[in-house]
Amino acid sequence: QVTLKESGPVLVKPTETLTLTCTVSGFSLNHATMGVSWIRQPPGKALEWLAHIFSSDEKSYRTSLKRRLTISRDTSKSQVVLTMTNMDPVDTGTYYCVRISEVFQDGFWSGYYLPDYWGQGTPVTVSS
Amino acid sequence: DIQMTQSPSTLSASVGDRVTITCRASQSVTSWLAWYQQKPGKAPKLLIYKASRLERGVPSRFSGSGSGTDFTLTISGLQPDDFATYYCQQYKSYLYSFGQGTKLEFK
């Protein structure tokens, strides 16, 4: 059974750094066709993808937040960590950890990754 | 980055209705498009992937179509459990992007 569980502070102050941890089970972070993403959702607003990390340790970041984000993993602990610096009230929202899986199509691995399992999300409020 | 635009933002309907939500990409995503359903306080649930393929366990009243830049999600015979918010998402680019959501509410 695949599960992802987010953990981290509920409240952070403006200018502080947020560190969120995603602990996964039911699959390996070393699996060649899987990765993990972070996606957030401000209250009452749409979903926003933030970052990916793949089994190769390749990383991708949201263009507008690239300078503030770092994604990393500890395969021995089955954990993926997201840090976001210089937090602002607009960063308030629910942060989701999501497994992404490469799509197998027409007999080959496509190179495209689909989000297929989501954590329950963790709320983060930025306020002094 | 690829921009995704959904319409309408809100849709009022009744049980039994057939409804359609549209999603447009700012550039071609071929068929690398997914649809999600989200209920308040819950994580999104995958409904459709590859534009038209139904995720396992999703009722057949949900269907998706389109390719390139224009896509639709259709729900035929709305059930009470279907009133939720729906999002499209492209995964052609590693820089994922989502539509702004369509809230399906009771008329």
The model's pLDDT over A72-122, given as tens digits with 9 standing for 90+, comes to 999 999 999 999 999 999 999 999 999 999 988 888 888 899 999 999 999
pLDDT, residue A108, reads 87
Which residue on chain A is closest to B39 by alpha carbon? A44
Is there a contact between B43 and A116 if contact means CB atoms under 8 Å apart? Answer: no
Strand order in the sheet with B62-67: B4-7, B18-25, B70-76, B62-67
- Dump pLDDT digits (tens) for A37-57: 999 999 999 999 999 999 999
> Nearest to residue B59, comparing CAs of B44, B37, B30, B40?
B37
pLDDT, residue A106, reads 82
Interface test with A, best of B37, B46, B96 (most A CBs within 10 A): B96
Q: Is the pLDDT of residue B43 over 90?
A: yes
Is there a contact between B44 and A37 if contact means CB atoms under 8 Å apart? Answer: no
Among A47, A52, A114, the residue with its CB nearest the CB of B87 is: A47
Is there a contact between B46 and A116 if contact means CB atoms under 8 Å apart? Answer: yes
Residues sharing a CB contact under 8 Å with residue B81, sequence separation 6 or more, in sequence order: none
pLDDT, residue B52, reads 96
Secondary element (H or E) of residue B34: strand B33-38
**In this complex, is the C-beta atom of A120 within 8 Å of any C-beta atom belonging to chain B?**
yes
Among A46, A120, A121, the residue with its CB nearest the CB of B98 is: A46
Among B32, B43, B91, the residue with its CB nearest the CB of A119 is: B43
The answer to whether residues A102 and A51 touch, using CB atoms and an 8 Å cutoff, is no
**In this complex, is the C-beta atom of A116 within 8 Å of any C-beta atom belonging to chain B?**
yes
- Dump pLDDT digits (tens) for B45-55: 999 999 999 99
How does B11-43 read in b/e, with b if 16+ C-beta sit within 10 Å?
bebeeeeebebbbbbeeebebbbbbbbbeeeeb
Please give the average per-residue pLDDT across A12-17, as a whole number.
Answer: 97
The answer to whether residues A52 and A29 touch, using CB atoms and an 8 Å cutoff, is no
The answer to whether residues B27 and B2 touch, using CB atoms and an 8 Å cutoff, is yes
